[in-house]
Structure 1
Amino acid sequence: MSTMTPRPPGRLIGASLGPGDPALITRRAWDALQSGARWLYPVKKAESASYALGIVERGGLHVPADAEALVFPMTRDPVALARAWSRAATRTVELLREGRDLVFLVEGDASTFATFGHLARVVRELAPEVEVDTIPGVSAFAAAAAITATPLAEEDETFAVIPAAYGIEVIARLIDDFDTLVLLKVKPLLDELIELLRQRGLLQHACFIEKVGAPEERIVHDVAGLAGEKVNYLSLLLVRNPERVRGELRRGCRKRL
């Protein structure tokens, strides 16, 4: 009878790469990429290009021969999604049980609207002993705000980040509740958003950013000029509402001197 101790599984590392500019890859993520861990990266379908992998390649790192793609299809079909997630997580666990760390490449920040969080949850369901390490990174909206010199929030201001798919009625309400709105994935609703901003007198306080940090980055301040245009999936709107009426703030319990 064999008395060999089972090999402990490797760690699953979510390496945030930023939204497109390899100069925004953090030192910690850069070290993980060169640690000897096996690379996993997401693709929309088999044999298609990976946006996350492209960020690393532009940074000058050589893609290891054993790097492996995991397919996460762009669909809302719950059956197809469940099947894809199951395949990806099962394959990840198989590789982790070989005892080698895996580094999963994540565009933007791994904790913000990212594939990694869901993958990590399913992996833990299949293999609770697996250690997960999430490396934070620069989100697309933070990079967009910086490159356009748009403050997300100053002093006592507020901001919200939402996918535009929540719809025009929700967005119209939030305009009154926040000083800045970050609207993600605006492609399907862009014309409706432009009309809403026109009605609210906020067009001059909005900015459109597409593929921030990538070579194809595009910044448009004349948002009205985008009406009728098909834009990239990786696009967002920053909307400031300088006339927002704020309620009274509670300053805390510290005694005044």
Structure 2
Amino acid sequence: MNPPPAAPTPARFGRLIGVSLGPGDPELITRRGWAALHSGARWAYPVKKAEESSYALDIARRGGLAIPADAVELVFPMTRDAVALARAWARAAAQTVQLLAEGRDLAFLVEGDASTYSTFRHLARAVRELVPEITVDTIAGVSSFAAAAAVADLALAEEDETMAVIPAAYGVEVIDRLLDEFDTLVLMKVKPLVDEILELLERRGLTATSCFVEKVGAPEERVVHDLTRLRGEKVNYLSLLLVQNPKRARGELRRGCRERAAPAAGSPAAAIDA
């Protein structure tokens, strides 16, 4: 008589799941993200300071989800101090590995999309540096600029148009140059440079084709088409500008999907290929 099959050995580590929640509106959480939040995985969420409120956690709360009693905060300070940042990342990664070592999945709540300017990718990389075999699962979500274009009734790109997404911190000189290279510019985190960017857009005659969006999807959402209203105003950190340049000169496009014909036998190109 054959012995009964052995019970499967539990995984040594749980999965690290980046759960994208969208930029603020709980209705933008995807079905896959919603399922992960109900999967029994432990929750982890980012904060800037210990015991501070979490924007990502607030999205889940406004979606009617009960916050699990064992949800864990991970501190990621807003600082340019390289030493302080290194310590914070090391501490968060070690804490994450310790939680995953219990064999239970860990759902890390992410505002926006987990692959776009997200803390999650840094965390996943730091965790894998400690324990390479840990499985990372990233659940895609709605990005803030996609949601902003929708609420502002704008197209990010149509047909053969081009677009670029950059942090506004690169400065007005870079923005000025990119305006001639892309039909749409998405400028993220514009808070420190609003007045300088407004001056540039006025000089380029692009204020009428630009739009400011703040805290998209949140109860405090604000959409401003008349950019002159923003001059001298202190805006929220979670704000962006959609800038369109309909006057941009475009180069000739190579259309069609047919491959180039093979060179005829005896041609110079055929001889080189041989």
Q: What is the CA–CA distance in structure 2 between the aligned matches of 1:177 and 1:149, rounded to whole Å? A: 23
Question: Secondary structure of 2:35's match?
Answer: helix
> Structure 2: 5+ residue runs without aligned partners?
1-8, 260-274
Q: What is the CA–CA distance in structure 1 between the aligned matches of 2:255 and 2:170, rounded to whole Å? A: 33
Paired residue for 2:185, among 172, 181, 185? 181
Q: Which amino acid aligns with 1:67?
A: A
> In 1, are the aligned partners of 2:183 and 2:248 still within 8 Å (CA)?
yes
Q: Which amino acid aligns with 2:70?
A: D
Q: Deviations over 1:209-257 (max 9, x none)?
A: 00000000011111111010000000000011111110000114427xx
> Structure 1: 5+ residue runs without aligned partners?
none
Question: Secondary structure of 1:161's match?
Answer: strand
> In 2, are the aligned partners of 1:184 and 1:236 still within 8 Å (CA)?
yes
Q: What is the CA–CA distance in structure 1 between the aligned matches of 2:25 and 2:218, rounded to whole Å? A: 6
Offset at residue 6 of structure 1 (A):
8.0
Aligned to 2:19: 15
Offset at residue 105 of structure 1 (A):
0.1
Q: Deviations over 1:189-216 (max 9, x none)?
A: 0000000000000011110000000000
Aligned to 2:111: 107
Aligned to 1:73: 77
TM-score using structure 1 length: 0.96
Question: Secondary structure of 2:201's match?
Answer: helix
Q: What is the CA–CA distance in structure 1 between the aligned matches of 2:72 and 2:24, rounded to whole Å? A: 20
Q: Does 1:41 align with 2:45?
A: yes
* 1:106-255 equivalence runs, <5 A: 106-254=110-258
Q: Which amino acid aligns with 2:210?
A: A
Offset at residue 149 of structure 1 (A):
1.1
Question: Secondary structure of 1:95's match?
Answer: helix
Larger Rg: 2
Question: Secondary structure of 2:17's match?
Answer: strand
After TM superposition, the runs of 4+ consecutive aligned structure 1 residues lying more than 2 A away are: none
User: Percent same amino acid among aligned pairs?
Assistant: 75
RMSD: 1.3
Q: What is the CA–CA distance in structure 2 between the aligned matches of 1:114 and 1:26, rounded to whole Å? A: 17
> In 2, are the aligned partners of 1:7 and 1:97 still within 8 Å (CA)?
no
Question: Secondary structure of 1:219's match?
Answer: strand
